[in-house]
Structure 1
Amino acid sequence: MKSLLVCLSLSVLCVAPAMAEAPAPLSPELRAALARTPNTKKARNIILFIGDGMGINSVTAGRILAGQTRGVDGASYRLTFEGLPYTGLSKTYSADKFVTDSANGISAITTGVKTINAAIGVDATVRSDDCASSLKGRIPTIAETLKAQGKATGIVTTAGLTDATPAGAYGHVPSRGWRSDAELPAAAKEAGCIDLARQMIEAPKAMRLDVALGGDRARFVTKAQGGKRQDRDLTADWRSLPGAVLVSDKAGLNAVDAKTTKTLLGLFADGDLPSVVDHKDQGPTPTLEEMTRTAISVLSQNKDGFFLLVESASIDKWHHENNAYRALTDVDELDKAVKAALAMTDAADTLIIVTADHSHGLTLNAGSTRNEPILGLARKNGVNEPDRTGQPRLSLSYATGPGARPAGSPPLTEDEALSPDFHQPALTPMSSAQHAGEDVPVYASGPFAHLLTGTVESTFLYEVMRYAASRR
């Protein structure tokens, strides 16, 4: 009787255990995670997306800007590639530096070997600008290896086709600056080295790219044609290939017949492609998504599958200028390309990896409430959150770069900060912002994507791609 009275007087405590046993509803995210099972089938296709310079702060700020641009809450918005089932971190240091450049950054991913900064497709025995050492230290790329096994291969970039990241699919040089014969040192020519543009065009059929879309027309044609080359017109060499197509604008790209095109070269600018902010889907420049769609359409004709490297170079190019608006806009452009690739392929047989070659010194600082523009001043519901001197400050800033403001500069305004041409302030004045050395994110789906979790070396991405493609 006594125990019954105690229970009645403490009814809440007596009932509590029973109430706690009721299962909580599962979120869609948890349901998806619980249903997730590793895919251990052979990868017929591999698509490697590189957000050049896209560190985790670029992903976060890019996500917020993408959401705000669409009129929704940026903080809770989700980029398409953030929804890929497996995520990890990649360590990007090079053979000689804490902080890598794009050359070693991509080379480690495409060859499985870290090299020195500025070198591509060679091992760490190479000496900078030394032709002989690069010939001895040559390492085959994942694109070359898979092409030799029968797959189609391609590259897509908003940079020039001979820039460091796209060159990581086909190039072998001790200096990323060897982009045309006009930029190749005389000693290197005498020692038997050739420039990156020639390496791309003259590669043996068993290793040559089937699709290459980007910029750098000037490095493929002669001075007489308005280019840089001193020897000959390399586009003529390309056009002589069986089933080859050469395009120079969006209209030409849209007109490509994927079923009859065997090899496709697109040169849409003399150098890098302009930011999408500046052409806004108008005029002759295709978007990264449009180039990706065409590349997949052409490469998919191969019965044995394909390998495709897609680079959003503009993230890095504009971070170097401390222009966060254009850099972060291109995070969204990369995401659109990833979304297109997911729609055009089957996750059952296509390994998709989204990562970066290195990070940048962009920081997202405290102060703003979530209703404020990510690119604007730090504000709490419209009221400035100043620095300790009482001056307006920004939500986004850089560690280094040309945005450093001289002492005595006038206070920042919201209109100034929201201008597409604004250069976010930097702590250390530099002519060009420096890369940052923290680990970068990796997002993956498809065959053996489950291996890309935890913290791994950048070279591990090569191992996973090679293993997934060769699995029997």
Structure 2
Amino acid sequence: MMLLVHLLMGALAVSAVAGAVTGAVTGAGRDESSAAYWHAEAQAGIAARLARRPAERARNVIMFLGDGMSVPTLAAARTLLGQRQGATGEEAKLTFETFPTAGLVKTYCVNAQVADSACTATAYLCGAKANQGTLGLSAAVPRWDCDASTDTSQHVESIAEWALADGRDAGIVTTTRITHASPAGTFAKAANRHWENDAEVRQAGYDPQRCPDIAHQLVHNYPGNQFKVILGGGRREFIPTSSLDEEGRSGRRTDGRNLIEEWQRDKVSRNVSHRYIWNRDQLMDSYSSPPQYLLGLFENNHLQYHLQANSSTEPTLAELTEVAIRSLRRNEKGFFLFVEGGRIDHAHHDNLVELALDETLEMDKAVATATKMLSEDDSLIVVTADHAHVMTINGYSGRGNDILGPSREVGRDGVPYMTLSYANGPGFRPHVNGTRQNVTAEPNYPPTSLK
């Protein structure tokens, strides 16, 4: 499996960033029937790339990760973007699709043909392929092997650790639990990605004192305890089962510890400014003058899907990204920031295609925010994915056909089919008398009812 990596850059080693145009529709209203139009567009693209003057070294590095963001996901998302703007859609471009450099990456694990978000996080953040389900460990450590994971010679360092060692700051932003596989790749050394709290470690038959859970590692272990910005979901991994969070939901820890309070006490002991926040209003309060250390946990579990969230209480990924950059760019030596659009993956797992595409567009807005805030003279932005999903684009519909609707054709059996469909997952309908069901006749059609 191969996925696209988009680079907005100067020199390839650790280099610069540029101001890309935000999700603009191109070609609409012009004479696309002329070959000269396409020749001119190609020449303009070449000229724009040649005009870039890359810096030799980047102070700031941001890695954007679209979890499960396959190539078909990009094609469908850009079409949806254009159609939301009233155009045919296919000609639209995501912000990061205007970046001057793109490539392909392989996404297998050492022991698995299809990668998961843990072994991939170890690969793209630490530079070493690993076993499926493991974090921050070499492939010498099997999954679920607590004892093997305690061998520090098998620990691999992340780019966040490299940044800290160089005197730069580091932070993580995600729409998932902050202890989920992708963000955990920046700081955790764990033989099982699911060991997000002490109860999970005990359930596997191990002592959390020997193999600390991922939330504990973030608060108490290096490098997590040095991260200046931690913004995401997952309060439940930090508080005990006997406690309720700010929204009345219980924790999952069985050791009786409140790691949020322990994070706060650690910052008090170090005499540094800090703040714990849990809603959008508090995030906006930190907009102009963030503290030295900022911990934001905005949901008990993952952040809500953007289309289903209360926009007055739930921050967007772009807002989280902006506050993180405002905080981290105060370090004159620079910073490393990891930003994940994590719920693209979750929506694909549940065959909720509009949600998956909207989450992709939300991540693109965060990329646009970053390109506006940082100079190409000293910053590098990388946008990539960790694995794909089995969403396909079907049929031969005409230009501008609703990307969320049925194909303009029907199958040989005379039954309509959707332009976007999945090869597995909960969307399957059993055939009746050897014939597919007509999904366009179902009561929850059309899918845009999610809006």
Partner of residue 94, structure 2: 79
CA distance 1:206–1:179, change in 2 (3 Å): closer
8 Å contact 1:47–1:309 — kept in the other structure? Answer: yes
Matched residue of 1:407: which SS? coil
Deviations 1:10-55 (A, max 9, x none): xxxxxxxxxxxxxx85742132133345x35221000000000001
The residue number in structure 1 matching 2:446 is 418
- Could you tell me which of 225, 229, 251 is aligned with 2:253? 229
Q: How does 1:302-317 map to 2 (within 5 A)?
A: 302-317=331-346
C-alpha separation in 1, matches of 2:396 and 2:330: 52
How many pairs are equivalent? 392
CA distance in 1, matches of 2:208, 2:261: 25
Tell me how far apart the structure 2 counterparts of residues 343 and 319 of structure 1 sit (CA, whole Å). Answer: 30
- Structure 2 counterpart SS, 1:176: coil
**Which residue pairs with 1:50 in the alignment?**
65
1:196 aligned partner: 214
Q: Which has the larger radius of gyration?
A: 1
User: CA deviation digits over 1:323-358, x for unaligned, max 9?
Assistant: 100000011001000000000111111110000011
SS at structure 2 position matched to 1:292 = helix
Q: 1:167 to 1:67 in 2, by over 3 A?
A: same
* Alignment correspondent of 1:247: 277
For the residue of structure 2 that corresponds to 1:222, the secondary structure is: coil
**What CA distance in whole angstroms lies between the structure 2 residues aligned with 1:234 and 1:320?**
30
CA distance in 2, matches of 1:113, 1:191: 27
Please name the residue that 1:156 is paired with.
173
**Alpha-carbon distance in 2 for matches of 1:247, 1:268:** 8
Distance 1:184 1:139 in 2: 21
Q: Say if 1:135 and 1:421 are closer, same or farther in 2 by CA, change over 3 A.
A: farther
Q: TM-score, normalised by structure 1?
A: 0.80
Report the Cα distance in structure 1 between the residues aligned to 2:449 and 2:330, rounded to whole angstroms.
42
1: CA distance between counterparts of 2:230 and 2:392?
A: 34
Gap change, CA 1:149 and 1:258, over 3 Å in 2: farther
SS in 2 for 1:328: helix
How far off is 1:317 after superposition? 0.5
Q: Residue 217 of structure 1 contacts residue 271 of structure 1 at CA under 8 Å; is this kept in 2?
A: yes
Distance 1:25 1:122, change over 3 A: closer
Q: Does 1:400 align with 2:424?
A: yes
Q: Name 1:63's counterpart in structure 2.
A: 78
Distance 1:78 1:270 in 2: 34
- Structure 2 CA distance, aligned partners of 1:324 and 1:165? 21
SS state at 2:171 partner: strand
Which residue, 296, 302, 314 being the options, matches 1:272?
A: 302
Conservation of the 8 A alpha-carbon contact between 1:365 and 1:394: yes
Residues in 2 aligned to 1:206 and 1:100: alpha-carbon distance in whole angstroms = 25
Residue of structure 2 aligned with 1:130, choices 115, 138, 145? 145
1:237 Cα deviation (Å)?
1.4
Q: Does 1:238 align with 2:268?
A: no
| Partner SS state of residue 447, structure 2 | coil
RMSD after superposition: 1.9
Alpha-carbon contact 1:148-1:207 (below 8 Å) kept = no
| Cα offsets for 1:81-110 (capped at 9, x unmatched) | 100110001111110111100001111001
After TM superposition, which residue ranges in structure 1, 4 or more long, deviate above 6 angstroms?
none
User: 1:144 and 1:357 mapped to 2: Cα distance?
Assistant: 20
**Alpha-carbon separation, structure 2, partners of 1:190 and 1:276:** 35
Q: Secondary structure at the match of 2:46?
A: helix
Residue identity in the other structure for 1:234? L
Pick one of 291, 298, 301 that aligns with 2:330: 301
Q: Which of residues 212, 230, 236 in structure 1 aligns to 2:230? A: 212
Matched-pair contact (CA < 8 Å) for 2:180–2:196: yes
Q: Which amino acid aligns with 1:359?
A: A
Distance in 1 of aligned mates of 2:132 and 2:61? 26
Give the match for residue 348 of structure 1. Answer: 377
- Cα separation, partners in 2 of 1:413 and 1:204, compared to 1, 3 Å: closer
- In structure 2, what is the equivalent of residue 5 of structure 1? none
Taking the aligned partners of 2:224 and 2:305, their CA distance within structure 1 comes to 34
Alignment-mate amino acid for residue 335 of structure 2: F
1:391-411 alpha-carbon deviations (Å, 9 max, x no partner): 011111111111111122641
SS in 2 for 1:290: helix
- 1:258–1:301: 8 Å Cα contact kept in structure 2? no
- Unpaired stretches in structure 2, ≥5 consecutive residues: 1-38, 244-249
| CA pair 372-206 structure 1, distance change in 2 beyond 3 A | closer
Is the Cα contact below 8 Å between 2:317 and 2:366 reproduced in 1?
yes
Aligned position for 2:131? 116
**Letter of the structure 2 residue corresponding to residue 282 of structure 1:** S
**Aligned counterparts of 1:344 and 1:154: Cα–Cα separation in 2:** 16
Per-residue deviation, residues 292-345 of structure 1 (Å, max 9, x unmatched): 001111111112111000000111000000110000001100100000000011
Cα offsets for 1:264-298 (capped at 9, x unmatched): 1101000111100102x523110100100011111
**Residue 49 of structure 2: aligned partner:** 33
**Deviation at residue 190 of structure 1 after TM alignment:** 6.3
Distance 2:391 2:211 in 1: 38
Instruction: Verify the 8 A CA contact 1:259 1:301 in the aligned structure 2.
Output: no
Query: Cα deviations across residues 196-248 of structure 1 (Å, max 9, x unaligned)?
Result: 00000002479621111010001111112221112200011122212111000
| TM-score (normalizing by structure 2) | 0.83
Q: Distance in 1 between matches of 2:238 and 2:428?
A: 37
Helix, strand or coil for the counterpart of 1:341?
helix
Paired residue for 1:181, among 198, 206, 215? 198
Q: Is the 8 A contact 1:145 1:207 kept in 2?
A: no
Are 1:181 and 1:195, in contact at CA under 8 Å, matched by a contact in 2? yes
In structure 2, what is the Cα distance between the partners aligned to 1:372 and 1:294? 38
Alpha carbons of structure 1 residues 53 and 374: separation in structure 2 relative to 1, 3 Å? same
Q: Residue 347 of structure 1 aligns to a residue in which SS?
A: coil
Structure 2 vs 1, CA of residues 260 and 395 (structure 1 numbering), >3 Å: closer, same or farther? closer
Question: Identity percentage over the alignment?
Answer: 37
